[in-house]
Structure 1
């Protein structure tokens, strides 16, 4: 009776909670020492501790405090509410711990497949698929945890029964409301298991070169060569054509093109290309070709084909070969440098003014070329006087019409029809 009076009181409650916490800390310290000792021999204890340490400690402490409170709570009427709160906290922490354990196991699987090797196709596939599995698993665990918390409320239990009865209608409404989101989710799952793209694949998307950095259920992150990130919905890679440079392997073939003069020596360039490739380690030795692919107009087009182990190495190799060949043309074969030629014909240029003058004098027409024609033209270009009815010869100037000032015709109406101005 004395024990019950001491512990089941508002003084015994905090004492019991402190004792529970102390015991928990001691047990966790012992467990931590054991995990550190195991981590010296294995790698997995360290990974387990980093992923599940915090939720595990909080869950153990919560259970210990719950037991202490349940044994020492002085007011039995508060037991249901207190137990409900601890139950919700326990479910939330268990959900967190479950997600951490899932990430740990997936990490163990990923550690078996290294992507820093030459032939890493299988490793990249496993990394992509396991990453999606981890995200799907965490999503399922969180949904189950939220549902379990909601089911602790009596009102939600009744609501759940009614929701199950109308699940068909709700699924249709939810599908229409989240059509684009669900499409991206299904597209993400399709991308992972169809192996259209994998993590670390080199792709050309939206005219940008980059690597697949992350694949989620709804979007894909492309790490572009200049450290930008291109975020694309998962449906982009299922509905839009794109280039995958590492679909089967990372080895690539690249070209270098040069427009040079006709006097260049392709044979000498070919010999120098062999020397250039032998002096570099970024050429994988699979292929090296130098060909004249075009010889039209004033230039000869030289195309060089080289190979490398991956896209970044190929880009560096192409730049290196281009620089070396340009330097060789400058120093060893300057006649091959591209030139633009202009041919001037002296006799034709001197004869051109005489031909133009002859053409001008030969054009004789009604108003040009002769004295009579020029006189006829002056009748149309000189000023024509305005003659009004009733004007006398002294009041007008008819010299432009070829008539003397003193004339026997006194008015314009008396002029002959051939010499009368058109306005009359």
Structure 2
């Protein structure tokens, strides 16, 4: 089959489907559609299905369409300026003359004027109540209008200045305006949104048209359907009628009594958290003071734990209880709960991070006390390995905890799944930005983790850095602290130890051999000097006791011999001290016992008169 023929068949099939849908949505079927409306509690009608009954099949099909459209009687036909409806508020009484709902501004003014005069049945004319059964629309109309008025006033959504006074909802574009909606015909306008639990429910007015009538602007059927659950969250408390007027004053749209209630609850939770923390501290102190249990939990470590955790634990418990309150635990603080919930959530995340850092540091210090500081000099190499792991992974755990806490904190405000997709979509641009801006910092952090795993250097190692005898004091996130022999501190980026050649005298074995050079005259008795050298080395306490010291003639020059001696010690520090002491004793020996054979300039005098 050729491509033109395939496209022709596809076009004909699409046309047949559209014709079928159009037939189902025509007024011929509107009369049978009255049975499909439902109230707000149940929008799906019940039908008896019979495959042989084509009419019922069509009704089932229309039932599904009604469910998908929100049972708002939308015909399915599209018009740029309004929504086409089969009917509108058939359960409400008709008014003659009808109310002025021709523009968005006129509708909101009509609704506000009617509710201010407590004519709620009249205000119901501005609601699209197609989600409710016509039999109950008259009974529910005034109640829904009163509740919607309460919500709009409470959330300050009566903003008449932002609504156009044109039937097409068009906003005249101002000079230099870049707004997408300026100069565009609109058939729905969002007045704002009202927060319900953790969701934002938009409040819309929309332009609708029923066949044979003029288009009107009304509150959308979806907005009307949300009124009851929004009112249940924000309805005034019964006891408010007994409060004095000054407590009902609403600065920042929040009543003063709500500020007071939340403050008192916060103080109560602080006291409760403090009591829990102190109680746990006393129990742990009592446990530590038991002589039979001091081997497992020292009083010092318990006191340190209590001192470190009591403040962050108290605040975390308090904020957790307050967050539970503003998340729906107390129904009469909805306004302040909605407005302060994000702030309390951020404070809770920060306090949890604070508590987590304190816990990590405590257990890291406890591990150091029990497993590291008790190691003797013979286990110095194991000491350096453990202290390096502890230093680096302490920081890694804290870093990972902070990143995870920030990620959890963001979940309260953004869609994490959507954020992840956005990050993956923009991975190319993000990688360039990170590569340019954060490469040094991230490179040093990654290098720190690599050093912790491979350990080319460790805390306590003796290294040569820039010609200086140095000791590694600490390994941080992005830099290492180096202490030179003259007690200067150098802060070296971690990447240096991964990308550059490092002379480490302590890794993998701290045992070290050093050399001593002596310059003597040709007449020196090398064997006697060698015996004295071996004797001096073996009598020194820094000698390793195993490696035999040696002394050899390394080279000769015109006037001197160069003697080369080797010595060994258990670690670089002992080797350096051994070298200095042996050199000093050998120079003293040569000066006292071999003075005539120290390097000297020889001058030969020739008496020419005696020769003649």
TM-score scaled to structure 2, two decimals?
0.50
Counterpart CA distance in 1 for 2:424 and 2:577 is 64
The count of residues paired between Structure 1 and Structure 2 equals: 350
Q: Does 1:37 align with 2:286?
A: yes
Q: Does 1:101 align with 2:362?
A: no
Query: Once the 2 structures are TM-superposed, how far is the Cα of residue 343 of structure 1 from its aligned partner?
Result: 1.5
Q: Does 1:172 align with 2:425?
A: no
Query: Once the 2 structures are TM-superposed, how far is the Cα of residue 245 of structure 1 from its aligned partner?
Result: 1.0
Query: Once the 2 structures are TM-superposed, how far is the Cα of residue 258 of structure 1 from its aligned partner?
Result: 1.3
Report the CA distance shift for 1:332/1:4 in structure 2 as closer, same or farther (over 3 A). farther
Q: Does 1:320 align with 2:581?
A: yes
Report the CA distance shift for 1:46/1:163 in structure 2 as closer, same or farther (over 3 A). farther
Query: Once the 2 structures are TM-superposed, how far is the Cα of residue 50 of structure 1 from its aligned partner?
Result: 5.3
Contact 2:266 2:318 in 1 (8 A): no
Query: Once the 2 structures are TM-superposed, how far is the Cα of residue 94 of structure 1 from its aligned partner?
Result: 1.0
Counterpart CA distance in 1 for 2:399 and 2:573 is 36
Secondary structure of 1:119 counterpart = helix
Give the match for residue 220 of structure 1. Answer: 480
Cα RMSD, aligned residues only? 3.6
Counterpart CA distance in 2 for 1:349 and 1:238 is 74
Q: Does 1:202 align with 2:462?
A: yes
5+ residue gaps, structure 1, are: 352-424
Query: Once the 2 structures are TM-superposed, how far is the Cα of residue 113 of structure 1 from its aligned partner?
Result: 3.6
Secondary structure of 2:458 counterpart = coil
Query: Once the 2 structures are TM-superposed, how far is the Cα of residue 202 of structure 1 from its aligned partner?
Result: 1.4
Contact 1:17 1:68 in 2 (8 A): no
Give deviations 1:95-129, integer Å, cap 9, x for gaps.
22223323334444444245653233344233323
Give deviations 1:30-65, integer Å, cap 9, x for gaps.
222223334442145355445544321321243456
Counterpart CA distance in 1 for 2:581 and 2:480 is 33
1:330 paired residue among 574, 591, 609: 591
Give the match for residue 512 of structure 2. Answer: 252
Counterpart CA distance in 1 for 2:494 and 2:610 is 68
Contact 2:273 2:315 in 1 (8 A): no
Contact 1:9 1:72 in 2 (8 A): no
5+ residue gaps, structure 2, are: 1-237, 244-256
Counterpart CA distance in 1 for 2:514 and 2:402 is 48
Moved more, 169-178 or 312-321: 169-178
Counterpart CA distance in 2 for 1:158 and 1:266 is 81
Counterpart CA distance in 2 for 1:52 and 1:26 is 13
1:26 paired residue among 253, 275, 279: 275
Report the CA distance shift for 1:237/1:308 in structure 2 as closer, same or farther (over 3 A). same
Give the match for residue 373 of structure 1. Answer: none
Give deviations 1:127-152, integer Å, cap 9, x for gaps.
32343222222112212222333333
1:62 paired residue among 312, 319, 333: 319
Q: Does 1:86 align with 2:344?
A: yes
Give the match for residue 283 of structure 1. Answer: 543
| Structure number with higher relative contact order (C-alpha < 8 Å, ≥ 6 residues apart) | 1
Give the match for residue 567 of structure 2. Answer: 306
Give the match for residue 128 of structure 1. Answer: 388
Give deviations 1:192-238, integer Å, cap 9, x for gaps.
21222222221112222212222234333322111112222223222
Q: Does 1:339 align with 2:579?
A: no
Counterpart CA distance in 1 for 2:271 and 2:446 is 49
Give the match for residue 145 of structure 1. Answer: 405
Give deviations 1:7-43, integer Å, cap 9, x for gaps.
x777666555544444433333222222333444214
Mapping of 1:357-396 within 5 angstroms?
none
Secondary structure of 1:325 counterpart = helix
Counterpart CA distance in 2 for 1:12 and 1:235 is 54
Give the match for residue 500 of structure 2. Answer: 240
Query: Once the 2 structures are TM-superposed, how far is the Cα of residue 259 of structure 1 from its aligned partner?
Result: 0.7
Contact 1:253 1:306 in 2 (8 A): yes
Contact 1:213 1:222 in 2 (8 A): yes
Give deviations 1:333-361, integer Å, cap 9, x for gaps.
3222221101233329999xxxxxxxxxx
Which protein is bigger by CA-based radius of gyration?
1
Counterpart CA distance in 1 for 2:534 and 2:358 is 56
